[in-house]
Amino acid sequence: MSMRLFRTWSEVPPPLKGGVLALGNFDGLHLGHQAVLAKTVETARAKGVAAGIMTFEPHPRMFFKPDQEPFRLSPFRIKARLIEALGLDYLFVQNFDREFSQRSAESFVADILVGGLGVSQIVVGYDYVFGHQRKGNVALLRELAPRYGFTVTSVGEMALPGGARYSSTNVRNLLKDGKPGDAARLLGRYWEIEGRVEHGDKRGRTIGFPTANLPYRDYLHPRKGVYAVRAGVDRGAETVWHSGVANFGNRPTFDKKDILLEVHLFDFAEDLYARHLRVALVDFLRPEMKFDGLEALKAQIVKDGEDARRLLDARGFTNARAPFVGVA
């Protein structure tokens, strides 16, 4: 059964109420988030009730600071797909607007979680906060639980053995530093950018390296530069993966100012215009730079392609293999 999506609690049918509910923003769905959702599903299955998740749109940080640089690791469409793959029965998307932002922590619990969704158990990360002025936390949930008839499970802090803590902030910092491999170890998969391919300048075709151009709007900006990538091309219900090389940035050689992701797929001759493309950043090759003319640029593109092929081949990728298994 596919996961169901709801945007108001009045839409949630009685069979899905009384279940186990995970709470959080879950930006990026890193391994710590996955542990929270795995506990939610495990507990719900043991109790014979629905496993649900509540998240918030827009992200509260976007609501309070709408003019800040994009920071999201997983815009809503990607997040919903990742959540569904983890086996949840339903996703409840709470609209985060001014009215909701001013709701007290206890009102959120009493009116929405209990009155609206009838939760029997809540699962959160150890540092979860909620309610007006972030006054709600795990301790408050435990205090309110007996009064409203639910239980609380808190998943503790998690980290790589001897390494970084699983957190969206750490993932963002690694991507900004040009370390997609380290970010992948926290995510459990390579970080993806996706979108519908748009027409560009078509300059790549004239120098022998055609690119698929993805506009860049709602995502975190990783380090500008050239990456070895795996790109997934939608073919109906199936996604077919190809190796390639991509440039993220402003294209200073041509005095461009807009941000763009340009992707060149190896040994691929099809037209990708208007197709949906998923691009996973695997390795950072070099920073973006300005070249003295097309010949210098072409020579560097050839070298970038060779470097990307070598790195991707060393990881054993094939077209049948998605980029979120076997992260080394």
* Residue of 278, 283, 262, 279 lying closest to 184 (CA atoms): 283
Q: Given the DSSP bridges, would you call strands 4-6 and 90-95 parallel, antiparallel or unpaired?
A: parallel
What is the 3-state secondary structure of 117-170?
A: CCCCEEEEECCCEECHHHCEEHHHHHHHHHHHCCEEEEECCCECCCCCECCHHH
Pick the catalytic residue: 262, 288, 295, 306?
262
Query: Which amino acid, 76?
Result: F
Distance CA 188, CA 190 (A): 7
Vertex 149 angle, CA 114 and 104, to 5°: 45
* Residue of 36, 73, 76, 81 lying closest to 55 (CA atoms): 76
* Residue 295 among the catalytic residues: no
* Distances from the Cα of 239 to the Cα of 75, 235, 244, 261, 278, angstroms: 19, 6, 15, 20, 9
Distance CA 157, CA 171 (A): 15
- 242 and 266 Cβ atoms separated by less than 8 Å: yes
* 227 burial level (CB within 10 Å; 0-12, 13-18, 19+): buried
Distance from CA of residue 231 to its chain's centroid? 16
List, by residue number, the catalytic residues.
262
